[in-house]
Amino acid sequence: MSRAEDILKSHGLRSTEIRREVINQLLNVGKAITHQDMETAMPKADRVTLYRTLTSLQEAGIIHQVVDDETVKKYALCGGGCSQDHHHDNHVHFKCTSCGDTRCLENVVIPAVNLPKGYVMESEDLLVQGVCPECA
């Protein structure tokens, strides 16, 4: 059984070709990529099926959206322990200002934020920008 099949099985999703392809693509590139990047890498996949696949993988806790300074959504694999009920990818994302790659820094946790009374946090994202080791 492949790693993609293991991931799908552990999240209770049926293993389909497009789901395995998306997961394998994310495993292979090791960084956050856009819908368009995936579409280019998987020319057999149509846009709507790919969009639906990304949505189902996100809802299952397999992938998460990465927020950076671009208007295009990027996706990355979740770390272990995310589920349909709870994404807990409370980590920093790093965008290289030289090559443009955005990566999850799984071991760098977003510091606690104490909001003023009356504010209710729904999500938190932290983007750090600079030069990655490959470009330094």
Is 104 labeled as ligand-binding? no
Residue 133 tokens read as: 């080791």
Phi, psi of 44 (to 5 degrees): -75, -25
Q: Binding residue per annotation — 87? A: yes
3-state secondary structure of 3: helix
Query: CA nearest 76: which of 124, 29, 118?
Result: 29
For 42, residues 6+ apart whose C-beta sits below 8 A from its C-beta are: 18, 21, 22, 25, 50
89 annotated to a ligand binding site: yes
Q: Is 135 annotated as a binding residue?
A: yes
Separation CA 61–CA 86 (nearest Å): 7
Q: Point out the annotated binding site for Zn(2+).
A: 96, 99, 132, 135
Annotated binding site: 87, 89, 96, 99, 132, 135
Binding positions for Fe cation: 87, 89
